[in-house]
Amino acid sequence: MQKKINKIDYKKSTEYFRQCSKQGYMPSTNALISMCMSGLIDKTPIFEECLSSLKGLAYSGNIDAIRRVGNIYYEGIGTTRDYTEALSWYEKAAKLGDVWSRNRLGEMYRDGKGTNVDLEKAYDVFTKLIENFFSFINKFIRI
């Protein structure tokens, strides 16, 4: 018996994702970005909408969106790679407690991406990461 495989209507999917993205639904924005990057849809106008939507979420304090905007600039996804801009977004996310952004921030200070090499700042960032990790672990383990 042969299975019927449904073809995905990318045009229709794109419109649904765009509507949800404009309303601030981040998974739809991420889906659109993935579709753009894989070449399934024309990325220029849609990517600009996605970045605008992510920035709106980021300005409202959404840590995941702040990190994602940083990633976009760090990797140059759909835009020019801009380490200085990425550093700015990672700093915002790190201040809100995002561990992943704090790690990337330490790497950028260490490697001089978006800033001058600053090993002292990198050390401080990594030390704070370790301290937070042990503080977190100690909540669950009694030594």
Q: What is the pLDDT of residue 24?
A: 83
Which tokens sit at 116? 């001058």
Count Cβ atoms within 10 A of the Cβ of residue 54 and give its class: 0-12 exposed, 13-18 middle, 19 or more buried: buried
Q: Is the pTM of this model over 0.95?
A: no
- The string of pLDDT tens digits covering residues 56-97 is 999 999 999 999 999 999 999 888 999 999 999 999 999 998
Q: Could you say which DSSP state residue 35 is in?
A: H
Alpha carbons 24 and 76: distance in angstroms, whole number? 22
Q: What is the pLDDT of residue 106?
A: 95
Q: What is the pLDDT of residue 7?
A: 67
| Cα angle 29, 80, 91; round to 5 | 70
| Residue 118 reports pLDDT greater than 90 | yes
What pLDDT band is residue 105 in, cutting at 50, 70 and 90?
A: very high
